[in-house]
Amino acid sequence: MNPTALITGASSGLGYEFAKLYAANGYNLIITARNEEKLQKLKDELNHIEVTIIPKDLSQPGASKELYQHALDKDLTISALVNNAGFGLNGYFDELSLQEQQDMLQVNITALTELTHYFLPSLKKAANQGLPAGILNVASTAAFQPGPKMAVYYASKSYVLSFSEAMAEELKGSNVHVTTLCPGATETNFFKTAKAENSKLTSSTMSPQMVAKAGFEGYMKKQRVIVPGRVNRVSALAAKFVPRSVAARIAQNMNSANS
């Protein structure tokens, strides 16, 4: 029997690429996002495997539980969880809408945490049955330093990295591995959604295909943290050695518009 992967945010960008990669490697899929039409298109493309669509708005409290319940009702068990859904917002904290920033926390942090909690028993069961079982969480190079002008987004990704590394250690010995992907700027809808299309961040980007491939391969090799791209690895390393205030100033500059 094919293993099943649950992929959040599969309607576009990295999630869409992950769906194709897991499918190409023999996984059936549960795919979720808000845009049902795009999910249906993806399902039509992947007609060689079983694909279940569960549309959800993960910014709504309770959505993760409904997603879990839906999978349970359909008797779907998973051996791979890809917590990819997420978004950013560009601007000063007090000038951005509080509601939109709360929605971001709900999607980037709360839903990811809840889905991990709900589906962990299924992952452990799969591991006990000898299936490869794991979690792939999508953080960002934003996780490595504070990010003025995207303060909540950067903080949310620091949470994802910290939580995921802690889970990797807790689950050591359970045969459920946890991989965290920390992409730098990638050519997806991310910058449009974040209203950061003119920011300096967009001056050097990677393709979503390359980033998802690096994440998937790292997941298959059970690596803990993956930073795709040499420039991103250098900047992630540099952030460890400069004072946090300096790193924050550099990030603020990068989050600002090209002049």
> Which residues does the annotation mark as catalytic?
153
Q: Mark residues 146-185: x for contact with ligand NAP by CB under 6 A, - for none.
A: -------------------------------------x-x
Least distance (Å) from ligand NAP to the CB of residue 29? 14
Helices 98-105 and 151-170 cross at an angle (nearest 10°) of: 10
Q: In what order do the strands lie in the sheet with 133-138?
A: 51-53, 28-32, 4-8, 80-83, 133-138, 176-181, 225-226
CB of 125 to ligand NAP, least distance (A): 26
Q: Work out whether 233 is an interface residue with ligand NAP (CB under 6 A).
A: no
**Which residue is closest to ligand NAP by CB?**
13
Examine residue 58 and tell whether it contacts ligand NAP (CB under 6 A): yes
- Scanning 53-61, 71-79, 224-232, 243-251 for contacts with ligand NAP by CB under 6 A, the matching segment is 53-61
CB of 109 to ligand NAP, least distance (A): 11
By CB under 6 A, name the one of 40, 52, 101, 193 that touches ligand NAP.
193
- For 87, 114, 134, 162, the CA distances from 77, given in Å and listed in that order, are 27, 16, 13, 27
Q: Is 232 in the site for ligand NAP (CB under 6 A)?
A: no
Least Å from the CB of residue 226 to ligand NAP: 12
User: Least separation, in Å, of the C-beta of 77 and ligand NAP?
Assistant: 22
4, 5, 7, 11: residue in contact with ligand NAP (rule CB under 6 A): 11
Q: Is 84 in the site for ligand NAP (CB under 6 A)?
A: yes
**Three-state SS sequence of the chain:** CCCEEEEECCCCHHHHHHHHHHHHCCCEEEEECCCHHHHHHHHHHCCCCCEEECCCCCCCCCHHHHHHHHHHHCCCCCCEEEECCCCCCCCCCCCCCHHHHHHHHHHHHHHHHHHHHHHHHHHHHHHHCCCCEEEEEECCHHHHCCCCCCHHHHHHHHHHHHHHHHHHHHCCCCCEEEEEECCCCECCCHHHHCCCCCEHHHHCCECHHHHHHHHHHHHHCCCCEECCCHHHHHHHHHHHHCCHHHHHHHHHHHCCECC
Rule CB under 6 A: say whether 14 interacts with ligand NAP: yes
Q: Considering beta carbons, is residue 18 or 126 the nearer one to ligand NAP?
A: 18
Nearest distance from C-beta of residue 10 to ligand NAP, angstroms: 6
Nearer Cβ to ligand NAP, position 107 or 247?
Answer: 107
Instruction: Give the separation between CA 109 and CA 142, rounded to whole angstroms.
Output: 14
- Determine, following the binding rule CB under 6 A, whether residue 54 of this chain makes contact with ligand NAP: no
Does 129 bind ligand NAP (CB under 6 A)? Our answer is no
Q: In the complex, which residues of this chain contact ligand NAP (CB under 6 A)?
A: 9-15, 33-35, 56-59, 84-88, 107, 138, 140, 183, 185-186, 188-190, 193
